[in-house]
Copies of this chain bind each other. A is one copy, B any other.
């Protein structure tokens, strides 16, 4: 199957959309994007918002987002340095689907937790019974 002329398809392992789709699931990337929803923010503030991410990992995340054109990095010629991160138009467009997903997650926490309890109980019973 030649994939070159097909429309983008996340199920195709060779389609770049799959990589992008999975980047969204990056441990920090999607969190950072959502924090940036409130406007530009500097490195140290970002660190506080995302709660205990090490500078190395935050830098990695930010560089990746910058490379993908989702955020801009603005260095102010000051001492001590000030660097602001801001969503690009592209990055802002991701905000909408991402927010829906976040709301889904936040809304369905109880259902999922309940399902887990039920599953684990069933497992325990099977173990005792077997």
One of B11, B13, B15, B35 near A34 (C-beta < 8 A): B11
Question: Contact flags (1/0) for A102-124 with B, using CB distance below 8 Å?
Answer: 11111111011111101110000
Q: Say whether A101 faces chain B, with CB atoms less than 8 Å apart.
A: yes
Contacts of A120 in B (CB 8 A): 67
For chain A, residues 1 to 53, give those with C-beta under 8 angstroms from any C-beta of chain B. 7-13, 15-18, 20-22, 24-27, 30-31, 34-35, 49-52
One of B10, B51, B102, B114 near A69 (C-beta < 8 A): B114
Determine the distance from Cα of A12 to Cα of B34 in the docked complex, in whole angstroms.
13
Question: Contact flags (1/0) for A93-106 with B, using CB distance below 8 Å?
Answer: 11011101111111
For chain A, residues 49 to 90, give those with C-beta under 8 angstroms from any C-beta of chain B. 49-52, 66-70, 90
Contact: A68 with B115, CB < 8 Å? yes
Determine the distance from Cα of A96 to Cα of B15 in the docked complex, in whole angstroms.
22
Q: Contacts A11-B35, A24-B25, A51-B13 hold; do A66 and B105 have CB atoms under 8 A apart?
A: no
* 8 tightest A-B CB contacts, nearest first: A25-B25, A69-B115, A8-B106, A97-B100, A21-B105, A97-B101, A67-B119, A17-B106
